Structure 1
């Protein structure tokens, strides 16, 4: 793009530079508006990863740029945007200035950008027929939205290595034994009335039945936002490590990114009905592993969740 001419340049040179600058700016604006997929990002880490993966797959499919709409986080203080920790290929939309809002309104009146809104929990094959420019909204909880580009998605959404040695040592333990990650999600599934009404809360019976399906020489590594509940309510017939407890005692900072990174080192997985542990299993991508997921995901029996869990996983 041409730079502004210095004051000492001739009027003719300034005019030529100005015209070149206007032409370059127009080209940039046209390509951005005509070839951009904009996806709304919301929720916690697992949901953010699902939304990014779907948007990224669509942008690869159409060879266009991807923009992340982060307006959700301007009002939801209990959630934070976390994808900056990953080597993602997207640019963020920033809070617009007053002038930009006016300009955007004028442009939207002259050119309508369509919106693709997810309609159900089932995979929609028509998703990849959505042409840019487009705004995308939904959760896209199925690997079918990005499985054609699975290797690239895994590369871009592999969690960063934790900086502390205790976490790295735990990863070595996971890799050196017949390891299974077991994730217990409590949190808002128990304390938030809306979440409690919508989502089934995995029972101790589910986790115990899943553990019984593991090889007898397995070591179960338990991850949870309520590790005390897991210790008191899940009877394990296998060697068990309570990861959050051990790492807390070792002084390792507890973060979702750390736990997700550790989960990817396990050979098998017992997940909760949670996008967080879903990603821990999916990113591991071990051909020989066993992944067990709950048969029940939502409390509402009318919700069809058959596309949430990959066909190679076992639901009980």
Structure 2
């Protein structure tokens, strides 16, 4: 038995699901379960990955919940019961990390396919414009990243200077780029970033927020934030050779091994 703990928003849930596939492949004799604690999933839109992608999540049973409680407590005294990002063990029972490392998911990304996305008139028009222009998604995450509990870890990385440098790279490599700007602080973006051709995408909120990721995946280039949401918007891109610019520094502690060599790091 192996149990993967799910937490956070959609971008992180993708990493957890892919870890389940990694464990299933690496330990075929073990049954894989998920731990879906609503308290760990409430900051965003709850557990939503199974509604957005054509996947089936590992089950959660009363037995797996009891084993989770045991594993959390026993991990303080018994080595090997729990695995995390710093102590990965294939013989562990409970997996509680973020799993932001290419080695855990590169062989399984093909399993991630969006379910049929029903677009309203606004998003349908956006998608058609994205498909017919030299479209560039630009993701700016502020909002929760400005809260004290997150700012020390994720703040002061994707600065205005970062975006200006990223835009310079794009404009050096693309003719007439057309920017589609995604942010949880559009007001700040409009005040600080001025582009010739730009659309501010601000109509997808709440349970429809995932449509932003879907639209990002159709752009011909991506400027991402230090955010798993825009990372997957770029990684799941439908174009085989799109241009991607990313921050070399992912957080204030470490930068995981996530980025293809052909992406441009700043």
- Report TM bin, short chain: 0.7 to 0.9
- On the 8 A contact 2:130/2:218 being kept in 1, the answer is yes
Map of 2:181 onto structure 1: 222
1:140 equivalent to 2:99? Answer yes
Instruction: Measure, in 2, the Cα distance between the counterparts of 1:315 and 1:265.
Output: 21
Equivalent of residue 269 in structure 1, options 222, 231, 247: 222
TM-superposed deviation, 1:75: 6.3
SS for the counterpart of 1:216 is: coil
- Length-normalised TM-score, structure 2: 0.82
SS for the counterpart of 2:239 is: coil
**Structure 1 residues 9-35: Cα deviation after superposition (integer angstroms, max 9, x where no partner):** xxxxxxxxxxxxxxxxxxxxxxxxxxx
1:68 equivalent to 2:34? Answer yes
- On the 8 A contact 1:159/1:260 being kept in 2, the answer is no
Map of 1:149 onto structure 2: 108
More helix by share: 1
- Return closer, same or farther for 1:44/1:207 CA change in 2, 3 Å cut-off: same
Which of structure 1's runs of 4+ aligned residues deviate more than 4 A? none
What runs of 5+ residues in structure 1 fail to find an aligned partner? 1-35, 121-126
Instruction: Measure, in 1, the Cα distance between the counterparts of 2:43 and 2:54.
Output: 24
Map of 1:6 onto structure 2: none
Map of 1:117 onto structure 2: 84
TM-superposed deviation, 1:39: 0.4
Map of 2:54 onto structure 1: 87
Map of 1:49 onto structure 2: 14
1:195 equivalent to 2:161? Answer no
TM-superposed deviation, 1:222: 0.3
1:186 equivalent to 2:142? Answer yes
1:40 equivalent to 2:5? Answer yes
Map of 2:258 onto structure 1: 308
Map of 1:242 onto structure 2: 200
Instruction: Measure, in 1, the Cα distance between the counterparts of 2:40 and 2:168.
Output: 44
Larger Rg: 1
SS for the counterpart of 1:211 is: helix
TM-superposed deviation, 1:177: 1.1
Instruction: Measure, in 2, the Cα distance between the counterparts of 1:200 and 1:253.
Output: 23
- Return closer, same or farther for 1:188/1:227 CA change in 2, 3 Å cut-off: same
SS for the counterpart of 2:33 is: strand
Map of 2:240 onto structure 1: 287
- On the 8 A contact 1:65/1:90 being kept in 2, the answer is no
Instruction: Measure, in 2, the Cα distance between the counterparts of 1:205 and 1:101.
Output: 49
SS for the counterpart of 1:284 is: coil
TM-superposed deviation, 1:253: 7.5
TM-superposed deviation, 1:89: 2.8
SS for the counterpart of 1:89 is: coil
SS for the counterpart of 1:67 is: strand
TM-superposed deviation, 1:309: 2.5
The CA RMSD over aligned residues, in Å, is 2.9
